[in-house]
Amino acid sequence: MKIERGIFVTGTGTGVGKTVVSALLVATLRKQSPVVYWKPVQTGIERDCDTSAVKALAGCDPSEIHEAGIRLKRPLSPHLAARLEGVSITVKDITDLAENGPKTEFWIVEGAGGVLVPLNENELMIDLIIELGLPSIVVSSTGLGTINHSLLTIDCIRSRGGEVAGVVMNGEPNRENSSAISDYGKVTILAEVPVLRPLTAGAIAKAAGKMDFGLI
C-alpha cells in the first residue's frame, strides 16, 4: 500500500531522537495541514511507547494518531522480538494496518531503529519504507561518528530507490558535521534540533514555533 501524502522518519540508529523529531513534525506541520502520526512497529512496549510520547509532547487529538500497529514486549530488533513471542511480521502485515487510516491527512510515520533493521528473515525496514512510497527524513545525532552513519543511511535509501527529503540534526550544534553531511550527501539539512531540557510539551511547542521543515 502506498500512502498518498506523508514522510517516513528514520534515523542512523536507535536513540538518535526520532520520536522527538516526530513530535516536532506534528506540532509544526499541523499548522499547514491536518496530520496523523503512526508508529507501525514498536518493540519494548512494556518500557516505552513512542505513540504515547508523541501524543503527550505534541498535544495530539485522537484524530491525529493512527493507533494500529505491531506491538512487541521485548526491547530488541523487531525480527527477534517477534520470534521470541512466537509471531511473525511481514511488510504486508504492516501496510495492511494503514488501510483503515485517514486518506487525506499528511502522515508522519516513525520507523524503529535504522533502515537496515530486520523485520523478519527476508525483509528490512527499508522494504517497508519503499512499500509505503514515502520520502524519508533521516534523524542524525550531531556528535562524533554521525557523518559516516548519516551518509551510509542516505546511500542505502537512495540505492533501494527511495527518496531522502532531508536530514534533521539532533543535539548540541555542530556546524562542521552538518555541513559535511549536506555536502557529501547532497542533501538538505531541514532543521537543527537543540537539546530540549526538560523535554515537555511546552518545549516542543516553543521549538516548533521556530521551525519550518518545508515539507508541505
In a domain, 94, yes or no: yes
In a domain, 215, yes or no: no
Share of the chain above pLDDT 70, in %: 100
pLDDT exceeds 90 at position 118: yes
CB contact at 8 A, 140 and 178: no
- Number of neighbouring beta carbons within 10 Å of residue 105: 21
Has 39 been annotated as catalytic? yes
How far apart are the C-alpha atoms of 149 and 112, rounded to whole Å?
Answer: 16
Instruction: With CA atoms as reference, report the closest residue to 140 among 106, 166, 111, 176.
Output: 166
Domain tally for the chain?
1
Instruction: With CA atoms as reference, report the closest residue to 169 among 7, 34, 17, 49.
Output: 17
**Span 193-205, mean pLDDT?**
95
pLDDT number for residue 46: 86
Could you tell me how many residues make up the chain?
A: 216
In a domain, 100, yes or no: yes
In a domain, 90, yes or no: yes
In a domain, 214, yes or no: no
How far apart are the C-alpha atoms of 210 and 205, rounded to whole Å?
Answer: 9
pLDDT per position as a tens digit, 48-67:
999 999 999 999 999 999 99
Q: Could you give the C-alpha distances from 34 to 53, 102, 137, 183, 200, in angstroms and in order?
A: 19, 10, 19, 33, 22
**Span 139-157, mean pLDDT?**
97
Triad 2, 208, 10: Cα angle to 5°: 35
Grid coordinates representing 26 are: 506534528
In a domain, 1, yes or no: no
Q: Binning pLDDT at 50, 70 and 90, where does residue 1 land?
A: confident
**Span 195-202, mean pLDDT?**
95
Residue 74 belongs to domain with CATH number: 3.40.50.300
In a domain, 170, yes or no: yes
pLDDT number for residue 216: 78
pLDDT number for residue 103: 87
pLDDT number for residue 172: 94
Partnered with residue 19 across adjacent β-strands are: none
**How does the average pLDDT of the chain come out, rounded?**
96
pLDDT number for residue 100: 87
State which residues form the domain around 170: 6-208
Selecting among 2, 31, 39, 206, the annotated active-site residue is 39
Instruction: With CA atoms as reference, report the closest residue to 137 among 109, 116, 176, 177.
Output: 109
In a domain, 213, yes or no: no
